[in-house]
Structure 1
């Protein structure tokens, strides 16, 4: 399998961590969808990463779809419950974490996208996205409480998704002081950061 993606993308990092935790072999192809010469659209018509290319050439895209597929490939380290309320809980945690990232990406693009003039940038839009980030962090903290992991006592996709969201915020928005505001999230992040799967996928220095 070949995974196409950027090492700075939190969605790509989520997939890479799942592959590491599941002990799956793959080749990582570094590719930025924003580069002028990007070839991502050759595999994903939406031009987005991550994109998983199978041995037969067919592609699977969207990080949530990819990680769900990957979890079925090996019984090692089951990350998503098969059915029922437990499964819905883990997928909701993933949606919450991805939603925080989505808001952050929209805010960042409003500021940094080179094809938008300064006069076209909307501070109201940026503020709205930051409001979503704050609400998401509050919900994460409340849901985690004093539990060792988001969905109980074992590592699951919930924790991987949240860890990627927190790590990306620290990487792209260091001014958001979530560590001070939510010490339980800081403890979870620090614990996850020690796992080889997180260490090996740490985004490069900006």
Structure 2
């Protein structure tokens, strides 16, 4: 398998951590989707990473679809429950974490995208996205409570997704002191950060 992605994308980070936890072999190919000569649309017509190219050259895209597929490839380290409320709970945690990443990226692009002049940028739009991050972090903290992991007593996709979201905030929004505001998320993130998969795959500038 081949994974097309970037080192700064939190969605790519999520997929790479799942690949590592599942002990699956793959080739990582970096791609700058903002470059004028990017060829990502040849694999993903949406022009986004991550994109997984399977052995038969079929493309799978959207990080949620990719990680769900990867979890079926090996019984090692099952990350998504097979069904029922437990599965729905894990996928809801993933949706919440992905929403934080969505909002963070939207706010960042509104602030820095070179295709827009400063006078065209909307502070109201940025504030709206930052508000989503704040309410989502509070929801994460409340949902985690004093549990060792987001969805029970073992690490799951819930924790991987949350860890990637928090790591991206550290990368792009160091002014957000989520550790002081949510010490239980701080404790979870410190625990996740000690895993080799997180050490190797967390987004880097």
Given the two structures, how large is their TM-score scaled by the length of structure 1? 0.98
| Superposition deviation, residue 198 in structure 1 | 0.2
1:73 aligned counterpart, secondary structure: coil
Deviant stretches of 4+, over 2 Å: none
CA RMSD of aligned residues (A): 0.6
2:114 aligned counterpart, secondary structure: coil
5 Å-filtered alignment, 1:95-174, equals: 95-174=95-174
Alpha-carbon separation, structure 1, partners of 2:72 and 2:110: 37
| Superposition deviation, residue 150 in structure 1 | 0.1
CA contact (8 A) 2:3 2:27 kept: yes
| Superposition deviation, residue 184 in structure 1 | 0.3
Q: Deviations over 1:131-169 (max 9, x none)?
A: 000000000000000000000100000000000000000
Task: List alignment gaps of at least 5 residues for structure 1.
Answer: none
In the other structure, the counterpart of 2:67 is 67
Alpha-carbon separation, structure 1, partners of 2:132 and 2:165: 13
Alpha-carbon separation, structure 1, partners of 2:101 and 2:196: 22
| Superposition deviation, residue 32 in structure 1 | 1.5
> Does residue 6 of structure 1 match 2:6?
yes
2:201 aligned counterpart, secondary structure: coil
In the other structure, the counterpart of 2:78 is 78
Q: Deviations over 1:53-84 (max 9, x none)?
A: 01111100000000000000000000000000
| Superposition deviation, residue 19 in structure 1 | 0.3
Greater CA drift, 32-41 or 53-62: 32-41
Given the two structures, how large is their TM-score scaled by the length of structure 2? 0.99
2:60 aligned counterpart, secondary structure: strand
In the other structure, the counterpart of 1:18 is 18
CA contact (8 A) 2:164 2:202 kept: no
Alpha-carbon separation, structure 2, partners of 1:141 and 1:159: 12
